[in-house]
Structure 1
């Protein structure tokens, strides 16, 4: 019995050692697998990439949003407010053109004859019509109005710069002995100082001697004769009446 004791002890020790070795071998792969899953970054990236498709609809919606703006920009534009005045080439008369939100009027006068025009402006282009075949066409922009003018079978060209008050177009109407009077003026400031002024007044088809406006206060009342006083208006005061 005393001899078998060490052998049994050694055998038990050997068996224990073998068991610990197997346990160590078995546990090692599990530890390595855990470390690989923790430190391996690509799977996290793949997970994020897999989530990205859910953000694509938002990006698509953002791309579509500007389309209404592009459509609005393509719509015809109009000039909010502008006034022009200048000479008619080869005629000696003056022309004035004023536009407000696309609504546009014009007036020509050389002191002997006159013509009123009305129409519209879109994208800087104007087409205005007057009595009979009278017409004006041209372009507004860059601080200038340029184009052509037709009256009584004759055609001229013009170039008119932008103007500010008191330069510009003025108009007055009144009743004279039961008849309607209309009067129009163009006032232009001269580069060398002072003002150039031309106008005409008619009662029905009869032309009257028109009074001069106060160039520095063109809307001040002016007497036509002993019985009639005219009250000129600037463009903002009568452009709606002309449309």
Structure 2
């Protein structure tokens, strides 16, 4: 028996190779790169800010009306001024301690301003600054007097007496300044003169030999 020749052996090898190629094409072989699926990065949702409910702004509270007594001297140091405040009302007294004086009154506005009036065209315009200061001007007896006065502490304050002495009508006004100095006028039937000193603790004062009582002034 003759052995197959080299040609037959080569032919057999080609047939086996063709068979293996057809087998791979039928079944398919996946590579590592084809099996890897890139995961998409996780997307974090940014939370939307929740709608905030805007509450209505509270209405501004009304400032309490200033109260108390304020005393001091005019800017030119010629006279004294006192203003007594309570319940939105004001009474003021301007006095040079000799022969010029005026009692004035009026309302205090919500912003602390006031326009007070008195006899013979006297007027006083002022504004409360904070809780311890009043700044303004007084027009009395033909003069114009700017002033700044401070809140008084007892015995400083504003005092007044009204009585009859020896048949004459006596009206006295006193401004007791910080430190105890007093500026005042007493009128006898509308004739002014310098007032004698009072005792601020009791209000006692002697006028023409008769003891009177000067009382604190409030609106």
TM-score (norm 2): 0.67
1:156 aligns with 2:145: yes
Flag structure 2 segments of 5+ consecutive residues without an equivalent: 1-52
Q: What is the CA–CA distance in structure 1 between the aligned matches of 2:79 and 2:142, rounded to whole Å?
A: 16
Look up the SS of the partner of 2:196 in the other structure: coil
Structure 1 residue runs of 4 or more that deviate by more than 3 Å after TM superposition? none
Matched, 1:97 2:83: yes
Q: How many residues align?
A: 163
Match of 1:166 among 155, 158, 166: 155
SS of equivalent residue, structure 1 residue 132: helix
Pick the aligned partner of 1:225 from 193, 204, 208: 208
Deviations 1:91-133 (A, max 9, x none): 5111001100111010111111211110111121011001111
Q: Which is greater in Rg? A: 2
Structure 1 residues 209 and 150: CA distance shift in structure 2, 3 A: closer
Greater relative contact order (Cα < 8 A, sep 6+): 2
2:165–2:208 contact (8 Å) kept in structure 1: no
Provide the residue aligned with 1:44 in structure 2.
none
Which structure shows the bigger proportion of residues in helix conformation?
Answer: 1
**Map of 1:1-243 to 2, 5 A cutoff?**
70=59, 73=61, 78-79=65-66, 81-112=67-98, 113-123=100-110, 124-142=112-130, 143-190=132-179, 195-215=180-200, 217=201, 219-226=202-209, 228-236=210-218, 239=219
| Cα separation, 2, equivalents of 1:141 and 1:82 | 13
